[in-house]
Chain A
Amino acid sequence: MGGNRHSHDHDHDQHAEVGDPSPPQYYEIMEAAVRELLIEKKMIQPDEIRRQIEVLDSRTPALGAKIVARAWVDPAFRARLLANGRTACEEFGISFYDDTQLIVLENTDKVHNLIVCTLCSCYPRPVLGLPPDWYKLKPYRARAVIEPRSLLAEFGTIIPEDVEVRVSDSTAMVRYLVLPKRPAGSEKFSEEELAALVTRDAMIGVIPATIPAGSVEQ
């Protein structure tokens, strides 16, 4: 190996190049052109785009999990959340920068909710952040409304025949968040411990919230 300035022993040649070396494609060129034009015409400031990315990056499923855990422990909050998802989330300081409304869908022993956007990738971004890739792809988007039960079964979620499956297709100005059932055995969990049980996929409705196997129970 080289001199003592570079004594660690990994092979630099194995690092893939960061970024795509191929020439920019149609939509990348169009995005740059529109962005530069908007800035040149003073319709937006360059910092606004950077700031919006910061806003998006600050939203993660941990926010949604906090909302769900609070709803599980506080019946008055749960009632407000189901009456108006947006204003209840705003109590937590979660802003709806995209000016969407939020309907929270409660899973019960009789009803299982699933959310999808068949037209594109509408998603409760203010409370969950960016959607997973599969949520944006056509197989999920089509099958969620055509054969939700077989789709759910592939996620390991078997819905009994006597439970109603409600698929909410988000399309325009309303976003949906599933309020999963509180798992049996979590009665003595703190609000924080409950939030740790709530995953992104449970709030999309493809799986239930569960207590992971092997975790210590009361």
Chain B
Amino acid sequence: MTRDLGEHLSLSTGVVVARGETPIFGAGDRIRIRTRSPIGHYRVPIYLRGKRGVVERIIEPIAIDNEQEGYGRNAGGRLHYYRVAIPLNEIWLDYIGSPRDGLHIEVYETWLERM
């Protein structure tokens, strides 16, 4: 991903990308899954809210926000999902197993905050 000039213009091609087309996180970025509780059904399990992890990869292509779409509130907005890795001993303080064991999950951009 080219991220020159405020993420909107690639210097090499001059192509201007639309808002949201460029992922704001990259592989290796340290993130936290947000702690919030919108009304209704959405796809971020409660056991992962507030947990810290690392972005493993960007999932292409950009996709609709299922949290909005399910309630007919999405005006075609699309952002990236990210595959995120979270150590199991970050999720469960009494986890039994290797400290390298991990939970991997795809999380929508609106649910991630940079650390």
Interface residues of chain A, those whose CB is within 8 Å of chain B, are 101, 103, 118-119, 145-150, 161-174
Contact = CB atoms under 8 A, between A and B. Distances in A.
B83 interface: yes
B106 A118 contact: no
A173 B100 contact: no
A118 B81 contact: no
Contact of B45 (A101, A166, A169): A169
Given A147-B96, A148-B101, A164-B98, A173 B106 contact: yes
Contacts, number: 70
- Determine chain B's interface SS by DSSP, over half rule: mixed
B64 to A, nearest CB: 8
Interface in B60-100: 63, 66, 81, 83, 88, 91-92, 96-98, 100
Interface residues of B, number: 23
- Determine chain A's interface SS by DSSP, over half rule: mixed
Contacts of B103: 145, 167-169
Nearest to B61: A101
Tell which of A161, A169, A172, A173 has the most Cβ of chain B within 10 Å: A172
B101 A171 contact: no
Given A168-B104, A172-B81, A118 B98 contact: no
Given A167-B88, A174-B81, A119 B97 contact: no
B44 interface: yes
A167 B98 contact: no
B96 A168 contact: no
A103 B56 CA distance: 12
A171 B111 CA distance: 13
B36 interface: no
B6 to A, nearest CB: 28
Nearest to A165: B101
A118 B44 CA distance: 10
A-B pairs, 3 with minimum CB distance:
A172-B43, A165-B101, A171-B43
A174 B59 contact: yes
A145 B106 CA distance: 15
Contact of B102 (A146, A166, A173): A166
Given A119-B43, A145-B47, A174 B97 contact: no
A172 B108 contact: yes
B81 A173 contact: yes
A165 B98 contact: yes
Contacts of A168: 103-105
Given A146-B92, A148-B97, A165-B97, A171 B45 contact: yes
Contacts of A170: 105-106
A211 B32 CA distance: 43
Nearest to B41: A119
Contacts of A119: 43, 45
6 contacts: A119-B43, A148-B97, A161-B98, A164-B102, A170-B106, A172-B108
